[in-house]
Amino acid sequence: MSELVPGGNMPLPGGILTLRVPGPFDVSALITDDSGKVRGDGDFVFYNQPTAPGARLQGEHLTIDPPRLRPGASRVTVVVSPADPAMPLGHLPAPTLHVSAPDGRHLARFTPPRPQRETLLLLAELYRRGTAWKLRALGQGYADGLAGIARDFGVEVTEDDAMPGTPPGATPGAAPGVARRTPPDGMPGAAPGGLPDTDGFLGLVNSARAAAGSPPVSLDARLTAAARAHASAMAARGLLGSESPDGISVYQRVTSAGYPYLTVGEHLVSGPRTPGEFVEYCLSAEQSRRTLCDPVFSQAGLAYVADGRSGDMYWTALWARPFSPAELSRTANEVIALTNAERTTAGLPPLSGDLLLTTAAQAHSADMVARAFYSHTSPDGSRPWDRAAAAGSTRRTIGENIACGQRSPAEVVRGWMNSPGHRANILKPDFTHIGIGLAGGGKAGTYWTQLFGG
């Protein structure tokens, strides 16, 4: 498999190619000829217009069959933008493009530099040379949004009120058929109160949370969509599991639904027939009750799907707190405070937060999510001290702890302290500074990094 850099290119095999960008992103594609312009609005493939001759978009997967593209097509430009229009692209992990051959072999991977002020990225392009097709990595930032890039590629953009025949949900100023997403609950433009509690689930949950002294949660459309996708996958298989046969975990479904989270929890259950029975089951054991009543969660999603063969009902409940820069900073500071409490108990001076170490730690957590690995060594071979130096740190002694799957600062610090090697880093007298990084959306949930310096 090739690791591409901006400007890098490679030949592509014949047949249907699959391009995937995991995470809280929307993927789009523009089909053009040698002029770089579309022939019409039908050459723009995106979430409200997911198919064109030779191209199909299904969630985070874009399939391209070059011979079946419309006549004259010689280039397909792949575009990525935030699934949540209110979330700046620079606040999300760097998107990673995965390219697979018709037989499923991984051909290439490309992670561009993390965006700054751009609203979307021209991620890559497939282009024809003679009868063969090649892939070029781009990573070019773009500041004018999806409608702006559509205009520049030749898609007609309506600037005044929507005309008759505009698809439902289209917004004035967007290209015909380029409907912007309706902001989900909790985002600008959402109706207050969230989704209606049509089956009584929310009332039961919030009653239990109130009894435990926890604030109420609201239903979120994105979490509900992710829960429905996972419950359907379990019902189709007739088996409970956090990961479906296609390798997609329940946590990845959350970010694929456009919900960047700070922390997430889940209940995966089969058997109950009603929401009341489901909530009763979740309250029957200490661990599941703790998840349902955890005060950190502010939003939830629920879905249940019957197995058509056995009639068993498969349930997925998701609990989350949405990501924000302020919450990220608060959580990182809590990890530092808990780490310093352990050092104080051991008679050691506290560690000071360090901006450069924080930058390197956050980049590593985001990279582990984006490139689907879990290691102190990145796929490009860089080690903790390399990443610290790349961030501008000049500290002479560097150490790193990583973890994945923990849902809170207390849980992750407790896990590190229960591991001799990680504990040794936390209690090393030579260390004087620390940076914390965390990113959600990977196969195991949240990925944590502690980077120490002295």
Q: What is the pLDDT of residue 143?
A: 67
Question: Per the structure block, which two tokens stand in for 40?
Answer: 């019409």
Q: What is the pLDDT of residue 309?
A: 86
Q: Which CA distances in Å does 112 have to 6, 40, 79, 138, 287?
A: 7, 29, 12, 8, 40
What is the signed CA dihedral for 103, 29, 140, 128, rounded to 10 degrees?
Answer: 60
Q: What is the pLDDT of residue 65?
A: 94
- For 228-240, the pLDDT digits (tens) are 999 999 999 888 8
Q: Are 357 and 434 in contact (CB under 8 A)?
A: yes
Q: What is the pLDDT of residue 111?
A: 86
Helix axes 325-345, 409-417, angle to 10 degrees: 40
Q: What is the pLDDT of residue 193?
A: 42
Q: What is the pLDDT of residue 148?
A: 66
Kindly give the parts of the chain with pLDDT less than 50: 158-193
Q: What is the pLDDT of residue 163?
A: 29
Best CA proximity match to 23, nearest among 86, 84, 106: 84
